[in-house]
Amino acid sequence: MKEKQIALTLGSGAALGYAHIGVLKFLEELNIKLSGIAGTSMGALVGGLYAYGYSAGELEKLVTRLNSLEIAKFFFPTFPRGGIIDSDNVKKFLASLIGDARIEDLSIPFRCVATDILTGNEVVFDSGPLLDGMIASMSIQGMFKPYSCKGLYLCDGGLCNPVPWDLGNELGDVNIIVNVLPLLGVTPGGKRKIEKISALAKEPIEKKEPGFLDVIKNGSIFDTLKDLMQDLKDKKTSLKQIHEDLWSKSEERQPSLTDVLMNWTFMTAVERRIPKRKKGRKQIILTPDPGKRNPLDFKTPKPVIAQGYEAAKEQEDRIRKLAGV
């Protein structure tokens, strides 16, 4: 009897993608060997590291050991051309984990997706440096500068293929698809949510002290950056404080720049978020519930990992049946 080929598709979702580690953890408990992994954005990072050889347990230890300072370095604004953040610090971190590994040499076949920001074309990394594929796939447009590779300028794969189930279908007879994208602007049934301004209650607008990102709007960014660098030099502030100012939401729930960029990605993904059934293909779709968790909260991975584990466990019978274990 031919052994079942089990592929895994890991979708985009920023820190919500920590759930992928929980799914991998459960599959390891069932002793399921994967025939291939397809990933986008955070799914490309988790999937790429797993295909390289890290176990689910090792990945969990890795992300839980990240401290606020290290995370702040990943997202420290340098305002390069085409974005707010340069991916150099993320690249150095990932390079320390995988070196110069190539996709075609991985123990588990791997594919990941990025978007050509100039043409809108989907770019599939099926060979070449694993580092290139992972960085390109996670370079959120507007936040990270486009990643240059083979003459292309690449941004987050979530723009064109946020849950690359079609690539997963090519890598196995059974495709376990993990979709962590939150539903924004639509109901679970796919109906568009509409609010009429006349039905909304009036709320007083409270004035507050301008934050770091507010200076981008009022044109004083260069003066602020100059002051910021001086404060760092004089140790009047810290990278952690800057990080909290950049990514935290105000009490009035005013969206930060990162909220806008992240939700933009999620909303453009809505129409492509639900994997389509393909005749002759067996699919298992896992949808860990993110609740109201902030997709940029990279500091608390354990609850999200647990959500991924539980989502897989809920479909244990179907997974066992289709995987033949």
Q: Which residues carry out catalysis?
A: 41, 156
Our CA dihedral for 221, 226, 229, 231, rounded to 10 degrees, sits at -100
Tell me if 177 sits within 8 A of 284, measured CB to CB.
yes
User: What is the DSSP pairing of strand 6-10 with strand 174-178?
Assistant: parallel
Coil vs helix vs strand at 321: helix
Residues 41, 176, 102, CA angle at the centre, nearest 5°? Answer: 50
User: What is the DSSP pairing of strand 122-125 with strand 110-116?
Assistant: antiparallel
Tell me if 23 sits within 8 A of 58, measured CB to CB.
no
Tell me if 63 sits within 8 A of 85, measured CB to CB.
no
Q: What is the DSSP string of 237-258?
A: S-HHHHHHHHHPPPTT-PPPHH
Phi-psi label, residue 11: left if phi above 0, alpha if psi -120 to 50, beta otherwise: beta
